[in-house]
Amino acid sequence: MFRLRLVPDKTTIPFMNGRFAGLFVSAFLSIASMVLFFYPGLNYGIDFRGGIAIEARTEAPADFAQLRQQLGELGLGQVALQEFGSPQDVLIRLERQPGDDAAQQVAADRVRARLAEILPGTQVRRVEAVGASVSGELFTNGMLAMGLAVVAMLVYIWFRFEWQFGVGAVATLLLDVTKIIGFYSITGLQFNLTAIAAILTIMGYSVNDKVVVYDRVRENLRLYRKMPLRDLIDLSINETLNRTLGTSVCTFLSVVPLALFGGEALQEFGIVLIFGVIIATTSSIFIAAPILLFLGENRLRRGTTEETGGTAPASSSP
Amino acid sequence: MLYFPRWKTILIIAICVIGTLFALPNLFSRESLANLPGWYANSRISLGLDLRGGSHLLLEVDMDAVIRDRVEGLVDGARTQLRTANVGYTTITPSARGITVQLRDPAQAQAATQALRELANTVGGGAFGGGQPDLDVAAANGAVTATLSEPALRERANQAVEQSIEIVRRRIDETGVNEPTIARQGADRILVQLPGVEDPDRVKRLLGTTAKMTFRLVDMNADPTATRAPPGSEILPSADPTGPQSYVIRKRVEVDGANLQNASAGTNPQTGEWVVNFEFDSTGARRFSEVTQANVGRPFAIVLDNKVISAPVIREPITGGRGQISGNYNAQTASDLAVLLRAGALPAPLKVIEERTVGPDLGADSIRAGLTSVIVGFVLVCVYMVAAYGLFGTFACIALFVNIVLTLAALSMLQATLTLPGIAGVLLSLGLAVDANILINERIRDETKKGRGVFGAMEAGFSRAYSTIVDSNLTTVIKMIILFALGTGAIKGFAVTITFGILISMFTATVLVRLMMVTWLRQTRPAALPV
């Protein structure tokens, strides 16, 4: 019977041999990402920066130079035009207008009126105008959500496992998140509310992946009492390799259509998730496990001595 | 774990069937469901504004104006109170949240304090009293200060927002928008969602007008071109560009717009121009007739939002409680003003601080893009699962399909809103849901390799994988709860669908799949598992 196996059933890849290389590469990428975060920085969307975005569909392919000039006459600061999808679809973006939140509305209405005047028949498909106080709050809430998510994960894993697992997972999570932020910086994808949702999703996925490996480590700790931790972690990763890769492939397959067919709004989301799945899968193997090895040497076996060993391990099922 | 009593089997199948029934109305148009009972026909997912098109406006109540209003009221009140109490003063100075009265004679501080205390309103407390005065009055160095207390300000702000919501609702109802959502958000904000509204200009204009209308006398002794008005009067600009530029108007409000009972747009039969006809309630009609009786021959100003609409001269007492406002209106502006007057004045100006509008065809495009993505994603995942796990993979795919159906059913029953990010959530939960089956199948495989029999391997596979499944799913659910709590608008929809998708997958991917596997085992009694 044919079965698609991503890797052979019995692998004995000595992943822990590469632990320094893995951590080094990861740390390097994360530090590089932090540099990218400050320079050139993120392309903040209007959710977080405030301003105006208007998506219009013109009757004929739009002449950008002329349109830019005509909209520029309104004196609303820099007008950024971007084509997306087809030559008839134009995204008009304006910087946040000086003045209070209501100033954004006034400016948006003026652009709308001007569009109707210079390109009659133009369809305004989407308008977003966000003032400074709203964008400030959205940004604060977004950051708060990410911070809370990290803390919640630390607490949850600490509660379900030992503290070494919690610290390992969260340290890996931070390395993952910084890389995603670096990805946003390199690609220039818009960093907005959707980005926060993408990052939280990847965090959830990443922790999920770590939990599966850690679960097996915990089980094997009870099963093989004499095995050195390093070999034991290697064994656990190898045992769960088919599942780790299988789930990654499935998540990947479910996200790829978003990047391909999701339309403008979901495309960026899909692209970031694809990147995130790759990061999260590799970090489970090359980062989370080595951290556990560093933290857990000689410590993780305490407290398990009074349980019965042997081939029938205490099941962790509830 | 492998034994399913009959009732359990029936229950599992019943859940799937009922879920499917509740998801079904989404496939049909509202019209074709008209003959079904309402509770069933209404079991459908409501689409978010980003999918059906519409306008999302976030309004902020101008709290400074609320407080400024109250302080202005205090200044006027203090003037009257001190006059009645025969207390001499040199100046009354308004501050950010109170007033300071400079007394002529410091010995009168006691009397002044007493008089100003009269201005306090009681806030808080219930039906049995127990409220507190909202003014702290203190005398020092020949001056008396009255300060609005913190709880008083809060209470007032709260009232202002509640009233504003009511007025906003009335005004929007007048515009005929279907199913608007109007909700308070935070301390001083109002969220307005208008499905199907493509150009929110008119709504924004209606909501951006305070529509505070007053009828006041014109100060005939003052010069409207002067820079300062005499005490008790103010200089107000004219709304009519054809008449005089400004008027000096008494601050005293003779009749308030709040006493209007009805207003409607119409045309003046003689001139043919658009006017707004209004009608007072009984109090208003009485006041109006008193004032017009006492002031025949003098101009009476109609002031709307601090602009003088017109100041016609009173020719004869008006006792019927009806009147007419004219001043350069067209059909639209006249009917807008009528709407505003009928709905009442906002207690404070509203500012639109966020607008997100999506046209209906962009929404339709988004739905199409979302559906395509979900179908392609589902097919891809299924192909992989069948290729990797054969029959058990097929079971997982059936469970996955039921998962989607039940997620839709849950969203329909709760009448939750499906947004574009929500569709992404459905898709993503496919990948996460199938993880449970991968875990179980890999486990069964492991156990089979270790030499367990058919039933033993299944039993062990499910029970071992279960805690891992719970752990890994809960971590994602925790994230989504955080996102739901802190996210806004469409993003909340993402958190909702993923959470439902995952919770339901704990049923479909484990219980339902197990039922399928066990049924298959009992019927075929295989010698080895097809993993």
Q: Does A43 touch chain B (CB under 8 A)?
A: no
CB atoms within 10 A of CB B164: 27
Question: Residue B1: enclosing H or E segment and its boundaries?
Answer: none
Nearest to B44 by CA among B61, B66, B62, B25: B25
Chain B environment of A149 (Cβ under 8 Å) = 478-479, 482
CATH number of B63-148: 3.30.1360
In this complex, do B370 and A262 lie within 8 Å of one another by their Cβ atoms?
yes
- For residue B209, give the 3-state DSSP assignment: coil
Domains B63-148 and B208-347 share a fold: yes
Domain parsing of chain B, residue ranges: 6-52+361-524, 63-148, 208-347
Q: What percentage of chain B exceeds 90 in pLDDT?
A: 22
pLDDT of residue B127: 52
Measured distance CA(B373)–CA(B52) in Å, rounded: 18
Candidates A101, A127, A252; nearest CB to B353 = A101
A15-44+135-296 topology per CATH = Multidrug efflux transporter AcrB transmembrane fold (1.20.1640)
Q: What does the mean pLDDT of chain B come to?
A: 86
H helical segments located in A76-192: 101-118, 132-160, 163-187
- For residue B99, give the 3-state DSSP assignment: strand
What are residue B139's DSSP bridge partners? B144
Would you say B466 and B396 are in contact if contact means Cβ atoms under 8 Å apart? no
Measured distance CA(A207)–CA(A213) in Å, rounded: 10
Domain boundaries B6-52+361-524, CATH class:
mainly alpha
Measured distance CA(A278)–CA(A252) in Å, rounded: 9
Would you say A120 and B356 are in contact if contact means Cβ atoms under 8 Å apart? no
Pairing of strands B46-47, B417-418: parallel
Estimate to the nearest angstrom the gap between the alpha carbon of B420 and the chain centroid.
Answer: 20
- For residue A214, give the 3-state DSSP assignment: helix
Nearest to A7 by CA among A237, A292, A273: A237
CB atoms within 10 A of CB B293: 13
In this complex, do B474 and A156 lie within 8 Å of one another by their Cβ atoms?
yes
CA of B381, closest CA in chain A: separation in Å? 6
Would you say B198 and B358 are in contact if contact means Cβ atoms under 8 Å apart? no
Mean pLDDT, rounded, for B39-67: 86
Would you say B303 and B283 are in contact if contact means Cβ atoms under 8 Å apart? no
How many interface pairs between A and B have CB atoms less than 8 angstroms apart?
Answer: 247
H helical segments located in B256-319: 282-294
Peptide linkage before A40 cis (omega within 30 of 0) = yes
Question: What is residue B85's DSSP assignment?
Answer: T
Measured distance CA(A286)–CA(A81) in Å, rounded: 43
Measured distance CA(B122)–CA(B44) in Å, rounded: 48
Measured distance CA(B317)–CA(B303) in Å, rounded: 20
In this complex, do B365 and A263 lie within 8 Å of one another by their Cβ atoms?
yes
Nearest to B406 by CA among B500, B476, B473, B484: B500
| DSSP percent split of chain A into helix, strand, coil, nearest 5 | 65, 10, 25
Question: What is residue A17's DSSP assignment?
Answer: G
Q: Give yes or no for residue B20 having a pLDDT over 70.
A: yes
In this complex, do A1 and B359 lie within 8 Å of one another by their Cβ atoms?
no
Measured distance CA(B30)–CA(B42) in Å, rounded: 9
- Tokens representing B434 are 């199938």
pLDDT of residue B131: 65
A 219-248 residues with CB below 8 A of B? 219, 239-240, 242-243, 246-247
Q: Does A307 touch chain B (CB under 8 A)?
A: no
Chain A environment of B362 (Cβ under 8 Å) = 55, 125-126
CB atoms within 10 A of CB B28: 12
Would you say A108 and B355 are in contact if contact means Cβ atoms under 8 Å apart? yes
* Cα end-to-end span (Å), chain A: 35
CATH number of A51-130: 3.30.70.3400
A 107-166 residues with CB below 8 A of B? 108-109, 112, 123-131, 133-134, 138, 141-142, 144-145, 148-149, 152-153, 156-157, 160
- Tokens representing B309 are 């609409």
The model's pTM is 0.82
Would you say A126 and B359 are in contact if contact means Cβ atoms under 8 Å apart? yes
- For residue B436, give the 3-state DSSP assignment: helix
pLDDT grade for B129, boundaries at 50, 70 and 90:
low
Per-residue pLDDT in tens (0 to 9) along chain A, 318 residues:
678 888 887 888 898 888 899 999 999 999 999 999 998 889 898 889 888 999 988 888 888 888 888 888 888 888 888 887 788 888 898 888 887 777 888 888 888 888 888 888 888 888 999 988 888 988 998 899 889 988 988 888 888 888 888 899 999 999 999 999 999 999 999 898 889 889 988 988 898 888 889 989 988 988 888 888 889 999 999 989 988 999 999 999 999 999 998 887 788 899 999 999 999 999 998 999 889 888 887 666 654 443 444 444 444 443
Task: Return the residue of B nearest to A141 by Cα.
Answer: B486
Least confident of B8-17, B222-231, B462-471: B222-231
Nearest to A239 by CA among A63, A10, A4: A10
Mean pLDDT, rounded, for B53-59: 91
Question: pLDDT by residue (tens digit) across B389-407?
Answer: 999 999 999 999 999 999 9
In this complex, do B464 and A317 lie within 8 Å of one another by their Cβ atoms?
yes
Measured distance CA(A242)–CA(B353) in Å, rounded: 51
Q: Does A284 touch chain B (CB under 8 A)?
A: no
Residue type, B289: S
Largest interatomic CA distance in chain A: 82
- For residue A283, give the 3-state DSSP assignment: helix
- Highest mean pLDDT among B172-181, B426-435, B496-505 belongs to B496-505
Measured distance CA(B381)–CA(B451) in Å, rounded: 30
B208-347: in CATH 3.40.605.10: no
Candidates B421, B434, B498; nearest CB to A250 = B434
pLDDT of residue B128: 55
Chain B environment of A278 (Cβ under 8 Å) = none
Mean pLDDT, rounded, for B14-39: 84
In this complex, do B355 and A156 lie within 8 Å of one another by their Cβ atoms?
no
- Tokens representing B55 are 């306008």
pLDDT of residue A25: 93
Chain A environment of B490 (Cβ under 8 Å) = 193
Domain parsing of chain A, residue ranges: 15-44+135-296, 51-130
Measured distance CA(B263)–CA(B280) in Å, rounded: 9
Mark B332-364 as b/e (b = at least 16 C-beta within 10 Å): eebbbbbbbbbbbbbbbbbbbbbbbbbbbebbe
